[in-house]
Amino acid sequence: MQQDNLILVSRYCSLHDLDQGFITELYRYELIEIITIEQEDYLDMNRLNELERITRLHNDLGINIEGIEAIVHLLDKMEQLNRQMLTLRQRLKQYE
Amino acid sequence: MEFIDYYKVLGLNKEASSEDIKKAYRKLARKYHPDLNPDDKDAQQKFQQINEAQEVLSDPESRKKYDQYGKDWKHAEQFEQARQSQSRQSQASGEEAYGDWGNFGGGDHSDFFEAFFGAQQSGRRQARFRGGDISGEMNLKLSDTYHTHKQTFTVNGKNVRITIPAGIEDGQKIKLAGYGQAGANGGPAGDLYLTIHIENDTLFKRSGNDLHLTVDIDLYTAVLGGEVSVGTLDGQVKLKIKPETQNGSKARLKGKGMPVYKSEGHFGDLYVSYNVLVPTGLTEAQKALFKQLSELQKS
């Protein structure tokens, strides 16, 4: 993986005023991915959106990691269902 | 511009304590937070309202001003001027604003709020916050989506030129990072999510990457076979009709459907359904020949 797309976890945490322990916890719950290169932990910058969303849920709404895990799962499911609905709607149009 | 009852927005009465406000806000924020209601404009609007209500009611100064003037808010500015000339004693707010939930719509207030409080509200924010995401819509024609093309539009007064990949589907979203609301205190801007609406300006019906088309063929071609010219999005193609083709039967034209989104060189298929037209206005000679055929069939 190209290192240009990666940001050091420590740098990300200092920029966003986050506790590194929070990132580690998220990784433990498999909510984010951490890439380790030469004993340094990095985040994929293309996937920072997910981390930002999780951070907002945690900071804004005071939701703990277990709660976030459930929410992320339900949001994914919702997106899947929306996509399915879109496909079905398109198919239905053929019979209109 | 209408008066906004911030107490009503939070489901509270005027006697509500700061703890009540905090509780009501948190409860409503959990319900309407944009991260929990993706693509729900009503929820986003509601979230903006409750954010605004919290911002006013959690700050003792703002709350006092709001309570004092209420529906007569248009006179609030005069009140402010009079109050400032009376006494210039500065007093630090005894209560810290709880939670700065400005990530979404924090910098986006109603006209009422702007008129009442102006820009004074931002003074207590120090932390950097990412601007809120915004959503927009773009209308395209199905024929335009056959090829990757550039499209220009205006967002927040800026001209944005984006590439629309071929094969994009109706309802699909494109994310434009950094084109959302501006961040607060130097925070990054939010993102813009464009929902694509595709109007079908063709005779095809689309199902995923496949296209469907009904083609009329005359009875003689259906019975004896022949050739028919079919218009695809890629140009005209000649299609061989097998003898004894049945009404409603289908032919598949591989690779003549829509391009597969972000997968160059890959296309769906085109399904052609035959609609056999029974001849009308037959001459006596034709009728006689059909009768002859019918008798041959019986014997």
Q: What is the DSSP string of B56-120?
A: HHTSHHHHHHHHHHGGGGGGHHHHHHHHHHH-------SSPPP---TTTTTT---HHHHHHHTTG
Hey, do B6-124 and B134-199 end up sharing a CATH topology, with the first three levels equal? no
The answer to whether A81 faces chain B, any CB pair under 8 Å, is no
What confidence score (pLDDT) does residue B153 get? Answer: 82
What confidence score (pLDDT) does residue B174 get? Answer: 86
Contact A79 B35 (CB under 8 A): no
* pLDDT tens digits along B195-207: 899 999 999 999 9
Residue keyed to tokens 């149009």: A93
Where in chain B are the domains?
6-124, 134-199, 205-298
User: B134-199, which class in CATH?
Assistant: mainly beta
Fill in the amino acid letter for B224: L
Instruction: Identify whether the C-beta of residue B141 lies closer than 8 Å to the C-beta of residue B214.
Output: no
Q: Taking CA B232 as the corner, what is the angle to CA B231 and CA B233, rounded to the nearest 5 degrees?
A: 130
Instruction: Give the length of chain B.
Output: 299
Contact B207 A90 (CB under 8 A): yes
Fold of the domain spanning B6-124: Helix Hairpins (1.10.287)
Q: Which helix (H) or strand (E) holds B8?
A: helix B6-9
Instruction: Identify whether the C-beta of residue A54 lies closer than 8 Å to the C-beta of residue A31.
Output: yes
Among A53-57, B49-53, B79-83, B242-246, which stretch is predicted with the lowest mean pLDDT?
Answer: B79-83
What confidence score (pLDDT) does residue B215 get? Answer: 95
What confidence score (pLDDT) does residue A3 get? Answer: 63
Q: Number of helices (H) and strands (E), helices first, in chain B?
A: 8, 11
Does pLDDT of A17 surpass 60? Answer: yes
Q: Are strands B134-141 and A40-44 parallel, antiparallel or unpaired?
A: unpaired
Instruction: Identify whether the C-beta of residue B230 lies closer than 8 Å to the C-beta of residue B239.
Output: yes
What confidence score (pLDDT) does residue B271 get? Answer: 96
Pick the most confident of A61-70, B64-73, B248-257: B248-257
What confidence score (pLDDT) does residue B9 get? Answer: 92
Alpha-carbon distance of B59 to B93, in angstroms, equals: 8
Instruction: Identify the band that residue A61 occupies on the pLDDT scale cut at 50, 70 and 90.
Output: confident
Residue keyed to tokens 């903006």: B48
Query: Which CA distances in Å does B264 have to A78, B37, B165, B268, B295?
Result: 29, 34, 10, 12, 57
Alpha-carbon distance of B44 to B105, in angstroms, equals: 8
Q: Which residues of chain A lie closer than 8 angstroms to B101, CB-CB?
A: 60
Alpha-carbon distance of B85 to B3, in angstroms, equals: 27
Query: Which CA distances in Å does A68 have to A21, A62, B36, B51, B191?
Result: 16, 10, 11, 22, 22
HSE-CB of B19 using CA atoms within 13 angstroms: 0
Q: Which residues of chain B lie closer than 8 angstroms to A12, CB-CB?
A: none
What confidence score (pLDDT) does residue B117 get? Answer: 67
Instruction: Identify the band that residue B91 occupies on the pLDDT scale cut at 50, 70 and 90.
Output: very low
Q: Which residues of chain A lie closer than 8 angstroms to B36, CB-CB?
A: 57, 71, 75
A3-93 CATH: 1.10.1660.10
Residue keyed to tokens 């695809």: B232
* pLDDT tens digits along B253-277: 999 999 999 888 899 999 999 999 9
Instruction: Identify the band that residue B124 occupies on the pLDDT scale cut at 50, 70 and 90.
Output: very low
Architecture, CATH, for domain B205-298:
Sandwich (2.60)
Mean pLDDT of all residues in B73-93: 52
* pLDDT tens digits along B15-33: 999 899 988 988 888 888 8
Number of inter-chain CB pairs under 8 A, A vs B = 43
Does pLDDT of B6 surpass 80? Answer: yes
What confidence score (pLDDT) does residue B288 get? Answer: 95
Mutation pick from B23, B30, B36, B100 vs chain A, by most beta carbons of A within 10 Å, is B36
Where in chain A are the domains?
3-93
Residue in B266, B128, B106 with CA at minimum distance from that of residue B180: B106
Query: Which CA distances in Å does B207 have to A89, A91, B132, B147, B269?
Result: 10, 6, 34, 18, 10
Mean pLDDT of all residues in A28-41: 89
Instruction: Identify the band that residue B118 occupies on the pLDDT scale cut at 50, 70 and 90.
Output: low
Alpha-carbon distance of B51 to B33, in angstroms, equals: 10
Alpha-carbon distance of B57 to B121, in angstroms, equals: 12
Contact B29 A61 (CB under 8 A): yes
Instruction: Identify the band that residue B180 occupies on the pLDDT scale cut at 50, 70 and 90.
Output: confident
